[in-house]
Amino acid sequence: MLEERVVAVVFEGGNPRSDIEVMMSRVRQGVALDNIAKALATPGIDGVILSTNFPELGARAARLGAKIDDTQGIDFHFGRHLRCLVDRFQLDNVIYFGGAALPLVQVDDLQWVATQLKERKNVVVVNNAQSADLTAFTPARILGDIDPPAADNFLGYLLREAGLRRLMIENSARINLDVDTPSDLVVLDLCRTVGPQTRHALDGIDLPETEIPRLLEVFSHKEHPYPEVALIGRVGPAMMSVINANLPVRLRVFSEERGMKALGREERGAVDSLVGRMIEAVGPEGFFAALGEIVDLVVMDTRVLFAHYQLNPSAPDRFHSDLGLDDRIADPFIARFTRAARDARIPVILGGHSMVYGGLWALLEENGVLPNPIPSVPGRQS
């Protein structure tokens, strides 16, 4: 008999090797601990399970009250392991999120999600329609009816395809920010509402200077009265709407390949970027020179470009590119591209998906640039 409980399941693990990966992992573990504490404090959530191969993280989470699923030494597969946890703990109402997802999420947000699972049934609740970082669903046994995905972003889509009604949490910075890159760490460091474990981790690392503070200056009109900003990559329509509704900023947006991971396009080598084709034609230097003539700031999700070139760069190469450290990048094209971005006449901010969506939103909201932040609840059905 399945128990009528809502349980949060958190996955956080990995095998960080380089210094920059270790730095990322420290902050991610701080986020995981803060989010576990929030989940345990949420009315309607009856327990938390942490799956991790980090013994120290497991010990600290256990002291908070989480059950620990030790994944050291196993051949880990996301979907199959989640299904095993559902069977092992006899779960029916599951709120899943990655350890570093939603570092600004609040107890009220999690409580709303838990309520949907208990009151509506046969639903899947996600924070993003195409590539979810939080996926809550009931009945959990439906995992037995799908081909378990290797990555978590595709889970919400598969569950909807399996017949569950999809509910989406209302868009806001705090349910869209994710921590995947060093750019996200810089954003978090500039946020006022990060949790205590995250703040402690951030204070313990040495982040190099980036152009991200210049972003705040441009959006605050300290440099130009009506700035022009280019957003490039997997830019969501909600981000454009928030800026257009609240700020006197002219946006030049090129949004492409949204859902490229969740839909398997990156894995199949099917990503095709118009921006990538332009860079092929004029080179990174020509690309940023052209942008420098028409905008005051560029914020770019580079993962679309890397996938277009089918580069599959190492984590250190991706992360050093985000920080503008071209001399530490092994891949010659990524080093050249990063150098061209760093040397552009205008500030260029590089990162992943969050940098043009949740990270940008959080940066503007947490620093008072956005005057009217949009609440995250109630949600909507789609």
Task: Give the number of other CB atoms < 10 A from CB of residue 159.
Answer: 26
CB 281 within 8 A of CB 329: no
> Residues 346-373: what's their mean pLDDT?
90
What is the C-alpha R_g of the chain? 20
Task: Give the CA count within 13 Å in the CB-facing half-sphere of 107.
Answer: 9
Q: Residue 376 above 80 pLDDT?
A: no
pTM (2 decimals)?
A: 0.92
pLDDT higher than threshold 80 for residue 73: yes
Distance CA 202, CA 88 (A): 35
Distance (Å, rounded) from C-alpha 21 to C-alpha 147? 31
Q: 227 in helix, strand or coil?
A: coil
Q: Please give the full DSSP string across 51-101, using - where no structure is assigned.
A: EES-HHHHHHHHHHT-EEEE-TTS---HHHHHHHHHHHHT-SEEEEEETTB
Confidence of residue 171 (pLDDT cuts 50, 70, 90): confident
pLDDT at position 223 is 74
How far is the C-alpha of 74 from the C-alpha of 72, rounded, in Å?
6
State the DSSP H helix or E strand holding residue 168, giving kind and residue range, or none if neither.
Answer: strand 165-168
| Residue range 5-19: mean pLDDT, rounded | 96
At 83-98, the pLDDT tens digits run 999 999 999 999 999 9
Residue 96's CB: how many other CB atoms inside 10 A? 25
Return the closest-CA partner of residue 305 out of 264, 238, 358, 260.
260
Helix (H, G, I), strand (E, B) or coil at 121: coil
The pLDDT of residue 262 is 78
What sign has the CA pseudo-torsion 280, 278, 326, 303? Answer: negative
DSSP structure class, residue 252: E
Distances (CA, A) of 26 to 12, 103, 109, 202, 211: 11, 14, 25, 8, 23
- Count of H-run helices and E-run strands, the chain: 15, 12
- Which residues, including other chains, have CB under 8 Å from residue 372's CB and lie 6 or more apart? 245, 246
Q: What pLDDT was estimated at residue 378? A: 45
What is the SS3 assignment for 122? coil
Mean pLDDT, the chain, rounded, equals 93
Q: What's the confidence (pLDDT) of residue 78?
A: 96
Percent of the chain with pLDDT over 90: 87
- Please state, in angstroms and rounded to a whole number, the distance separating the CA atoms of residues 137 and 166: 9
Residues 376, 162: Cα–Cα separation, whole Å: 26
Residue 322: helix, strand or coil by DSSP? helix
pLDDT of residue 57: 98
pLDDT in tens, 178-222: 999 999 999 999 999 999 999 999 999 998 889 999 999 999 887
> Which is it for strands 297-301 and 228-233: parallel, antiparallel or unpaired?
parallel
At the top level of CATH, the class of 6-169 is alpha beta
Domain ranges of the chain: 6-169, 182-366
Look at residue 1 in the predicted model and tell me its pLDDT: 40
